[in-house]
Every structure is written in C-alpha cells, then in structure tokens.
C-alpha cells in the first residue's frame, strides 16, 4: 500500500494532524520528540462521486479507497549527521512514497517552538536541507562505486554516472532531485530511494481564527510566495487542533459544526487527503451492485487489465473486454437499463487507459 509520511520540525502539530486524519489518539505533547517510533494509520479517501453513486443505488455496503499515513518524528537541523535521532527518522522517510511537510503558521506563546520564533520558510528550509544532505551522501556513495567502471568504458556504469553527476551538482546547489530530472530519469533513480525525489506537499498549520481570513496570515503569505518561487504547489491550510476536535464527528456533524463557526467552505483534511492521493499518483474507478458500491485505487497510466487485477488477479490474467459507463452519466440517468437503451454503456478493450471516470457493474 502506498503511503504518505507526515514530517516537520518538533512541535509543529504533526501528531495532532495525524490523530485527526486517522482518528487515532497518538501521544500529543508540548515538547520535542513526543513521537519516536512512527505511528501509522489507514485513511478513507472521501470521494463525492462514490457518495452520489451510493445514494442512487443504495447498496448494502459502501467502500472507499484507502491509503496509509505515517507520523514520522520531528526532524532537527543536523538530522543528516545523526542529530536528534536523525538517522532513524530519515530512514523512516525513505519508506514512504509522498512527503507531507507540516510547518507552523500561527503564533502561540504557550506552545514551544524549537527555534523560539515562528518562521515557516526557515522551518521548511531546515527540513529540506537535511533531506538534500542525506541525498548528497547517497549519490556520492553510488558515484564512488561506479566511477572507475564508468571511466573504463562500461556502458551501463557510464550512463548511470552521466545521470548522477549533474544530480549531485544540483543537490550541492540546494536543489531537490524532483526538479533536476525528468520522469524517465526519475524512474532510473528509484533504486537509490532519494528523499528529495519524492513528491512533497506542504501543510500550513494555522489557528482557528485564521481560517475565516487566510489572506491576513502573514506567515502563510510568506510561505506561499516562497513555494511559488521554488516551483512547489501552495501550502494546504489546515487547523490541526480544530481538525482533531472534529475527528470524532460524522460528516454531517462536522459540517454542522463548521457552519456554526462560520467556516462552511473550509475543506482542511479532505483537501489534504485528496491532494495527497492525487500527488501520490493514484486515481479511482468504481464498481457497483446491490451488495456493494466500491471505489478502487489504481496508478495513473494503468491499462484496463491492470485495473481489473485490483478486483481479482484472475480478472487481469483473463481480461478481454469490459462494459463500462461514465459515473456522471449513470448518476444523471438514475438507471443502468436506461443508460444501455441510450447506448452509453460501452465495451472497452485492453487499451482503455483512463479509467478514473468509469463504473463497472458487478
């Protein structure tokens, strides 16, 4: 199962956020390194399309897609050299597929900041620099192993060296691997498991008061300007404390409470989970029947047989064709039979690539 790792400096709200996402009560404390061993939890990916299909079909069971979030202990400056149990924490980051980097964007004198001041850009750079330093060490080690063979004319070693040399140079200039190579070369580097080759989302932990007017939060504005300059997506604003309080409520209770607070448009965790799901390279298709309406995760770029294999391995091996219908057409017509009458149920073969809009009747 693909996973997203929640990282950041100590005391920025990582464990509070993790508790809210996974509805698990992990240790939350006002001191560094409250988390040492990583906590892990499986989360549902909320999908309005699935909910609409379920409201139409009224099945016995509704099943969302899921993926894994991991709460990784707070990193500190010097982690790449072993400071603050850094080696252990960096190893934990290597195990995840996506980095969710939490930075603090609110003032509160009661909550200790590891650097004694709130500066999200500085905090972000500390973590990224540690990841870069760890990658430099890995790439340097690999170059040391292949350089002699590359210079002697070994074709494979020469090609790898020609790829790694500019990567090392870019890392030494504080650039992330993600921005140094194309997708093809990124796949070639996969075996090195470089930290800055992983997609990264930045989560801005803001106060509840900030949510009604995020434009007035100078820390968030500063952070987003920095991220834009470095070709990274804007931070996702989340109030971890509020989300932790909301986590015990169902969807209707959550919406009612947010409405009472004047925050009806606030997406918070749902936005984070959906964005992480997309950034990690996952899409969904749907199966439906009276017993169950279900969303299935698949990797972007998969063909129909690979998607079918998620339901059952026999389906992939024996795949020839499949009847599909667009989920929105099914929802609008309210009936599979009516969709068939209108010729909207289509027979698709092995070349079907973009399955994210399709429903399959089981």
Question: What whole-number distance in Å separates Cα of residue 220 and Cα of residue 262?
Answer: 20
CA 17 to chain centre: 14
Question: Are the beta carbons of 255 and 51 closer than 8 angstroms?
Answer: no
Q: Binding site annotation covers 287?
A: no
Question: Are the beta carbons of 93 and 195 closer than 8 angstroms?
Answer: yes
Output the six-digit token pair for 339: 């969709």
Phi first, then psi: what are they for 222, rounded to 5°? -60, -45
Q: Binding site annotation covers 262?
A: no
Q: Binding site annotation covers 16?
A: yes
Where b means 16+ CB within 10 Å and e means fewer, 235-259 reads: bbbbbbbbbbebbeeeeeebeeebe
Phi first, then psi: what are they for 195, rounded to 5°? -70, -40
Alpha helices in 197-351 (DSSP H): 218-229, 240-246, 251-260, 269-279, 304-311, 313-317, 327-333, 336-341
Q: Binding site annotation covers 8?
A: no
Q: Binding site annotation covers 92?
A: no
Output the six-digit token pair for 361: 């009747």
Question: What whole-number distance in Å separates Cα of residue 336 and Cα of residue 331?
Answer: 9
Output the six-digit token pair for 235: 């931070």
Helix, strand, or coil (residue 355):
coil
Q: Binding site annotation covers 238?
A: no
Q: Binding site annotation covers 140?
A: no
Helix (H) / strand (E) element for 34: namely none
Binding positions for Mg(2+):
15, 35
Binding positions:
11-16, 35
Binding positions for ATP:
11-16
């Amino acid at each position: 199962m693909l996973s997203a790792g929640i990282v950041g400096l100590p005391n920025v709200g990582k464990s509070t956020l993790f508790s809210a996402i996974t509805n698990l009560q992990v240790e939350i404390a006002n001191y560094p390194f409250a988390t040492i061993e990583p906590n892990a939890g499986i989360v549902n990916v909320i999908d309005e399309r699935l909910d609409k299909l379920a409201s139409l079909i009224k099945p016995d069971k509704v099943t969302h897609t899921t993926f894994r979030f991991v709460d990784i202990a707070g990193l500190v400056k010097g982690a790449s050299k072993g400071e603050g149990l850094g080696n252990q924490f960096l190893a934990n980051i290597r195990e995840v597929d996506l980095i969710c980097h939490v930075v603090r964007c609110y003032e509160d004198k009661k909550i200790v900041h590891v650097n004694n001041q709130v500066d999200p850009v500085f905090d972000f750079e500390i973590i990224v620099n540690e990841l870069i330093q760890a990658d430099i060490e890995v790439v340097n080690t690999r170059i040391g192993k292949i350089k002699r063979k590359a210079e002697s004319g070994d074709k494979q070693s020469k090609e790898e060296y020609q790829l790694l040399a500019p990567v090392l140079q870019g890392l030494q200039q504080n650039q992330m691997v993600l921005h140094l190579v194309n997708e093809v070369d990124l796949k070639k580097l996969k075996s090195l498991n470089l930290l800055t080759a992983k997609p990264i989302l930045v989560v801005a932990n803001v106060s509840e008061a900030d949510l009604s007017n995020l434009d007035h939060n100078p820390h968030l504005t500063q952070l987003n300007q920095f991220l834009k300059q470095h070709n990274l997506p804007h931070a996702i604003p989340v109030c971890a404390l509020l989300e932790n309080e909301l986590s015990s409520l169902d969807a209707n209770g959550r919406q009612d409470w947010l409405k009472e607070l004047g925050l009806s448009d606030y997406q918070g965790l749902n936005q984070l989970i959906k964005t992480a799901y997309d950034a990690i390279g996952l899409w969904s298709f749907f199966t439906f029947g009276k017993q169950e309406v279900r969303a299935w995760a698949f990797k972007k770029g998969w063909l129909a047989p690979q998607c079918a294999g998620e339901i059952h391995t026999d389906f992939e091996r024996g795949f020839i064709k499949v009847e599909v219908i667009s989920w929105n057409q099914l929802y609008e017509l309210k009936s599979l039979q009516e969709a068939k009458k209108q010729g909207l149920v289509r027979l698709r073969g092995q070349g079907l690539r973009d399955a994210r809009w399709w429903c399959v009747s089981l």
